């Protein structure tokens, strides 16, 4: 993919396809069970039937994370850029009371560790971040983002934003505006900013292997665009990642970074 536009399009398509491909084995935290499932498959993508221990939907459909990415993308296209109010409305339509995410099992879910006796539910999974958003949006609050959620919603929804605004000076500002519709916790915001910087590098430059070095350099620059109070902590983490690049993924994920 030789052009910036091609790489931007590939980022969005790849994001949505990968999310759907992984959905049937999403959230399998028991590594022994996951290994047993994967070892029985030549190709783990789009597994049928689903082995998801929390929710079951048709293979090929997106998770709640992928659906949020679709909501961002739909709003960007319709508004010809980021319109925060339109995005919030679109997200409400995707996840609200008239959507497939409205079901009794999902509404009864109380967040706590481990599987519950009524799992998996048979329907789409509306997670706590989305529940927090819906409560605030319905109440007409100006700030609709969850102040507690710090999960992958902070990462995956930036993909269409970066694809559209890569190379433009307002890119990081647009990322924060979009993410804040759903999440406002500092950890979530700084994660979205570093993810946006990394993805922007690949869209603009291709895969030359220098993305982490470039982003670390950006974050150390006292005159950087959109500085954040947690940037120094992010630099330390990225430098740790760089030191562990030769470690096999499973070992790095479970031993070095403790499944985070």
The pLDDT value given to residue 114: 59
The pLDDT value given to residue 256: 86
Q: Are 198 and 211 in contact (CB under 8 A)?
A: yes
Where are the alpha helices (H) located in 84-127, listed in sequence order?
A: 84-95, 104-108
Tokens of 139: 């109440």
d(CA 236, CA 161): 26
Query: Model confidence over 100-140: pLDDT tens digits?
Result: 999 887 776 665 555 677 789 999 999 999 999 999 999 99
Q: Are 196 and 175 in contact (CB under 8 A)?
A: yes
From the list 211, 208, 209, the residue with the least C-alpha distance to 196 is 211
d(CA 88, CA 139): 13
Domain limits, the chain: 4-208
Q: How many residues comprise the chain? A: 260
Spell out the CATH class of 4-208. mainly alpha
The pLDDT value given to residue 1: 62
In degrees, rounded to 5, the angle at the alpha carbon of residue 20 between the alpha carbons of residues 145 and 181 is: 10
d(CA 133, CA 126): 11
d(CA 118, CA 249): 33
The pLDDT value given to residue 109: 64
The pLDDT value given to residue 170: 97
Q: Are 111 and 146 in contact (CB under 8 A)?
A: no
List per-block mean pLDDT (blocks of 10 residues) for the chain, which spans 260 residues. Answer: 92 97 94 91 93 95 97 98 98 96 77 69 92 95 94 94 98 98 96 97 90 96 95 95 91 79
From the list 68, 57, 67, 1, the residue with the least C-alpha distance to 25 is 57
């Amino acid at each position: 993919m030789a052009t910036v536009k091609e790489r931007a399009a590939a980022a969005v398509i790849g994001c949505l396809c990968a999310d759907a491909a992984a959905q049937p084995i999403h959230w399998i935290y028991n590594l022994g069970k996951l290994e047993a499932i994967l070892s029985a498959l030549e190709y783990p993508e789009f597994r049928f039937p689903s082995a998801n221990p929390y929710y079951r939907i048709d293979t090929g459909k997106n998770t709640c994370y992928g659906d949020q990415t679709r909501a961002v993308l739909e709003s960007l296209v319709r508004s010809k850029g980021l319109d925060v109010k339109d995005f919030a409305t679109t997200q409400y339509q995707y996840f609200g009371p008239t959507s497939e995410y409205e079901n009794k099992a999902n509404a009864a879910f109380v967040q706590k560790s481990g599987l519950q006796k009524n799992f998996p539910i048979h329907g789409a999974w509306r997670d706590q971040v989305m529940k927090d958003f819906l409560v605030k949006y319905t109440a007409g609050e100006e700030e609709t983002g969850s102040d507690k959620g710090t999960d992958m919603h902070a990462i995956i929804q930036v993909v269409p934003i970066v694809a559209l605004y890569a190379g433009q000076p307002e890119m990081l500002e647009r990322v924060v505006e979009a993410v804040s519709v759903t999440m406002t916790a500092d950890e979530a915001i700084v994660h979205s900013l570093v993810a946006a910087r990394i993805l922007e590098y690949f869209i603009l430059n291709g895969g030359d292997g220098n993305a982490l070095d470039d982003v670390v350099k950006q974050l150390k620059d006292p005159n950087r665009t959109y500085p954040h109070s947690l940037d120094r902590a992010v630099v330390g983490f990225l430098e740790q990642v760089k030191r562990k690049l030769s470690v096999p993924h499973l070992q790095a994920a479970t031993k070095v970074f403790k499944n985070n």
